[in-house]
Structure 1
Amino acid sequence: MRNARRYPMLLAIAISLAACIPQKKPLPPEVTLQPPEQWRATSEPASSVRSDWWRNFNDPQLTRLVETALQHNTDVLAAISRVDAAREQIALARSALFPSANASVGTQTSRSLGTLGIAHTRSVQPELQVAYELDVWGRLQTLEQAARLQYQASRTDRDAVLLTVASTTAQAYITLLSLDAQLQVTRETAESRLGALRVAEDRAGEGYTSELELTQAQSEYEAAMQMIPQLQQAIRRQENAIQVLTGALPAQVTRGLQFQQLQPPRVPGVLPSELLRRRPDVARAEQQLAASDLTLDARRDEFLPQVQLSGSIGRLYVNSLNYDPVKIWSLGSSILAPIFTAGRLEAQVNIATAQRDQAAYAYRAAALNAFADVENALSGVTLYAEQIERIRARRQTLARSLEIARDRYRSGYSSYLDELDAQRNLFNLDLAAVQVRESQLNNVISLYQALGGGWVPKAE
């Protein structure tokens, strides 16, 4: 009879309070996004991307460094710890669906004066207390679902960190090989200028050239030699950076292939409509949006009554009594319905709505950045290849110009300035060629990263 009376009363309270629940605001229209039908830049036919895409460079040392970084990088380890914490948040949210039991032992000692003199009384009361909240409106289950989505978001965040670490390590290694190549070009240029300096010294000793031309040859030689320690310092810094990425102390990094031996692998294409499902950062933003939406539902459910059940059972031991311990127990229930909270619940709903909208804007931003990343990397595949072809053609011209200028100078038909200009142009072009090729290889890595690196969502 009590239950029959209680639930109609609960239903009546819920109906009266339901009218006070703030209406759930829809998502802002600005968050909608329609993927483009095709890429602006030319792309390869759609196909799958390898999850271990770094092996496509066929450099065993590059592979070793990347896979070491994926196991020992501190950002990766921190992301794994965040996954562990999110998993425990699921257990924390699930625990609210079950009763809680607590054991307690209370003792009391008293001293009193009576007709028979001073009496000492000691009582001991062990007790088991049980409390349970009925999830009548599904609020607790909603919070558990939100925790599961946050856990999934933490897993995709870990995968995004793995992809970033792999890309950063691969690009750092290619930059290291590029610095090695630039150092080699500089040393070869310094050796060539040393030969030109000796020729200038011989000609100055015989009176065929002026002191000005001799000092110019010395200056050019010292300029090339000055760049060698600068590049060596840059190499040392790059090696240390790679070691930190792999979770190791600064040390020398072993090389695999030479820089000239590295070839940019062919990167498969992806349709624009499929991109958003292939990037872990976009999936993370989507899961966080869904979790924030469930949190908003739970905040709105707080306007409805909460039903609490409680009970306790125990024994009472009193040393001054001559009878057996007394069994004590209690059962109770309560309905907590918010009547006046001074705007606290409304503020919590508004905060949850704003956080839901922030998550929606974050999802749109992640999607926009994903399309921009792919477009930039795709355009770089073609444009860097064109730059390299132009550099090769120009180098042939500059090399011929240097030969002509050197022959004319040694034959006495022109000054040493013509040869100096030809040397500088060729040296600068050789350095630029290495740097453009470095950008080309790193752009391929950026494209792999922009395409999600072969990422596939894992089931829980």
Structure 2
Amino acid sequence: MRRSATPVTDEGDVGCGTEASRLTSPSSRAWSGIHRAANLPAGACADGWIPEQVRDDGRGVEKRVGLTGVPSARRPARTLRALLLPLLLAGCALPGPRRAAPPDATVAPPPAWRSALAAPDAAPVSAAWWQGFGDPVLTALVERALANNLDVLTAAARIEEARAAEALARAQLLPQVGGSVPETQGQSISALGTTARAAAVQPGVTLSYDLDLFGRLRQASRAARAQLLATAAARDTVRLATAASTATVYVTLRALDQRLAIARQTLAARAEALRIARRRYETGYSSRLEYRQAQAEYAATQQLVPAAKLAIARQENALALLTGDSPRAVARGVALDRLVAPPLPGGLPAQLLRRRPDLFQAEQTLVAADRTLDSQRAAMLPNLSLTGAGNLVLSTALSQPELIFSLGTSVLGPIFDGGRLRAQERVATARRDQAAYGYRRAALVAFREVDDALAGVRRTGEQADALAAQAAASRGALENATNRYRAGYSAYIEQLDAQRTLLTADLSLVQARADRLTSYVALFQAMGGGWTPAEVAAVAR
């Protein structure tokens, strides 16, 4: 007996490639409509190949005869119509003109810094810029933070995620090959009532390949690559911020150590002044008021000690967190007034766009958004894919193995989607514009941070010089006021005022020195740390 052609299925049935049909059309109804529109004969595949027939071998068992491989006389015309029809129907979904990035998102760097302190052609800053402060303990803390800080480790893990996403996007450009080994068993009953059992195994291979005519997958792969570069730059931004935070906290800790030392020295001087005031009050050389004033000043100075100790403990805990440790004491190195101010980095504002990792991150984020927009626009155009399948039929009912194969092409073009693709294009365009504005904002913030840091280095240096002169003069005034008070030429209030002035000047000088050093740290961070144009180019590669 003779049966009609049977379509190919995942279980190994053979005929027209329904796998290709599923990859080509969202529904079998739409695909059959294209068959009808192309005027294909019943049972014929879209590519013009004649489906294999299933015949009775005379023993009551169906025998599969593979594809004839002989094209019909009208196959070229039918194939051309089948390929052109989706392209013609997709004309209504073609994307419109590509909207350019907003012109007000462009970046125009200033020609020079307002508070330039170094020549534009100054030597590049070393990547380990924190070593310039001349404190081995600070260097060890920063290196430990870069190795163990949890934010840095998290940013590194994000790079692995982005790298895997890029590999996934690149894999979409390659052919997809799969395999299966289905097994079937059955029996048939002949007209004479005899039964025959048959077992078959059909190992097979399937192939599908998206030709990506209009670059949808290529642009998506480029977007993933740009996103990987942006993620790597984000990791470098976190590393730079971690190094700067560690250096700032350490400088603040050394400043608090010096404030504690000043508080203890002042407390010792106030204790001596209280002892003298008590003796003069008890012997009748002074009033009870001076004695009470000395007591009040001693207590006021005494509270500075626990306040400084509390601040020190908090800074130590902050350093422990930055280095990935539990709260603990931190080793000390060079004193605050012995920390060296590193050489100032040079460079023009335009060079900053290539040195800061956060600007490179914003740039690559913009590139990724732009490539995603191109991919979304390409999705509105027809797509061509190739499909193929091959099966080797091994059956007890066959005298020899049978090789069955099928090849096909499919064209998928959007006809009506309710505006989904155009909405996705508008979403991608808006995100591209957001990334463009984000890049401009990041650049303006970078310019501001550099100029603020340059001004901070200059002004805090001037402030520290003035406070040093004030502290020296206040120390001399206190010595004179103390001698006059002990000789009985002045009241205690003069010595008290001199003590207060000196304490304020000393504490302010410590703060100014710390601010000057932290301004250097902020400047190195604002200039991109040790980043150079060569390193930026290396990351881009």
> Is TM more than 0.5 here?
yes
Aligned to 2:523: 447
Aligned residue for 1:182, secondary structure, equals helix
1:298 aligned residue (375, 380, 391): 375
Aligned mate of 2:230, from 153, 156, 160: 153
Q: 2:351 and 2:220 mapped to 1: Cα distance? A: 31
Quick check: 1:32 aligned with 2:106? yes
* 326-335 or 52-61: bigger deviation: 326-335
**Distance in 2 between the 1:448 and 1:173 partners?**
16
| Contact in 2 for aligned 1:22/1:346 (Cα 8 Å) | no
Q: Matches of 1:250 and 1:129 in 2, distance apart?
A: 59
TM-score relative to the length of structure 1: 0.92
Per the normalisation by structure 2, the TM-score is: 0.79
Residue 217 of structure 1: how far off its partner (Å): 1.2
2:465 to 389, 394, 397: 389
1:425 to 1:132, Cα distance in 2 relative to 1, 3 A: same
- Partner residue in 1 for 2:303: 226
| Equivalent in the alignment of 1:79 | 155
Is the partner of 2:502 in helix, strand or coil? Answer: helix
**CA positional deviation for 1:258:** 1.2
Match of 1:162 in 2: 239
Q: Secondary structure at the match of 2:355?
A: coil
Name the stretch that deviates more: 174-183 or 245-254.
245-254
User: What residue identity is the alignment partner of 2:369?
Assistant: S
* Structure 1 residue matching 2:354: 3-state secondary structure: coil
Amino acid at match of 1:29: P
Cα shift at 1:150:
1.3
Conserved 8 A contact 2:337-2:513 = no
1:41-93 alpha-carbon deviations (Å, 9 max, x no partner): 13210222211111111111111111111111111111111122222222111
Q: CA deviation at 1:408?
A: 3.3
Structure 1 residues 189 and 113 mapped into 2: Cα distance closer, same or farther (>3 Å)? farther
Q: CA deviation at 1:126?
A: 3.3
**Distance apart, 1:145 and its partner CA:** 1.5
Once the two structures are superposed, residues 181-211 of structure 1 have per-residue CA deviations (whole angstroms, 9 ceiling, x without a partner) of: 1110110000110110110111111112222
CA apart distance, 1:413: 3.9
Read off the aligned partner of 1:377 and give its amino acid letter.
A
> Residue 504 of structure 2 aligns with which residue?
428
Deviates more, 1:424-433 or 1:437-446: 424-433
2: distance between equivalents of 1:269 and 1:108? 77
Alignment partner of 1:417 is 2:496: no
Identity percentage of aligned residues:
44
Counterpart of 2:343 in structure 1 is: 266
Residues 420 and 117 of structure 1: is their aligned pair in 2 closer, same or farther, counting only changes over 3 Å?
farther
Tell me the distance in 2 between the aligned counterparts of 1:167 and 1:294: 34
Cα 1:392–1:302 change in 2 (3 A) is same
Is structure 2 residue 386 aligned with structure 1 residue 309? Answer: yes
1:80-122 per-position Cα deviation (integer Å, ceiling 9, x unaligned): 1112222222211111111111222334567999984999876
Q: Could you tell me how far apart the structure 1 residues matched to 2:280 and 2:273 are?
A: 11
Mind listing any 5+ residue stretches in structure 1 that lack a counterpart?
none
Greater relative CO (CA pairs within 8 A, separation 6+):
1
Supply the distance in 1 between the matched residues of 2:220 and 2:377 (Cα, whole angstroms). 12
Larger radius of gyration: 2
| SS at structure 2 position matched to 1:128 | strand
Which one of 205, 218, 222 corresponds to residue 141 of structure 1?
A: 218
Of stretches 152-161 and 278-287 in structure 1, the one that deviates more from structure 2 is 152-161
- Tell whether 2:323 aligns with 1:246: yes
1:280 maps to 2:357: yes
Counterpart in the other structure of 1:65: 141
| Alpha-carbon distance, 1:133 to partner | 0.8
Equivalent in the alignment of 2:451? 375
Measure the CA separation in 1 of the matches of 2:274 and 2:104: 67
Secondary structure of the corresponding residue to residue 506 of structure 2:
helix
C-alpha contact 2:203 2:392 (8 A) present in aligned 1: yes
CA contact (8 A) 1:18 1:303 kept: no
Whole-angstrom CA distance in 2 between matches of 1:3 and 1:177: 85
Closer/same/farther in 2, CA of residues 260 and 43 from structure 1, 3 Å limit: closer
CA contact (8 A) 2:178 2:207 kept: yes
Choose from 397, 404, 408 the match for 2:480. Answer: 404
Instruction: Find the partner of 2:176 among 91, 100, 117.
Output: 100
**Matches of 2:145 and 2:305, distance apart in 1:** 30
Conservation of the 8 A alpha-carbon contact between 1:289 and 1:356: yes
Q: 1:297 to 1:400 in 2, by over 3 A?
A: same
| CA separation of 1:322 and 1:32: change in aligned 2, threshold 3 A | closer
**1:23 aligned residue:** 97
- What is aligned with 1:349? 425
Alignment correspondent of 1:49: 125
Alpha-carbon distance change, 106 to 270 in structure 1, aligned in 2, over 3 angstroms: same
Any idea what the Cα deviations from partners look like across 1:263-309, whole Å, max 9, x if unmatched? Answer: 21220321122111111111111111111111100100011111121
Change in Cα spacing, 1:10 to 1:363, as seen in structure 2 (3 Å) is farther
**Higher mean displacement: 353-362 or 414-423:** 414-423
Q: Could you tell me how far 1:405 is from its partner in structure 2? A: 2.8
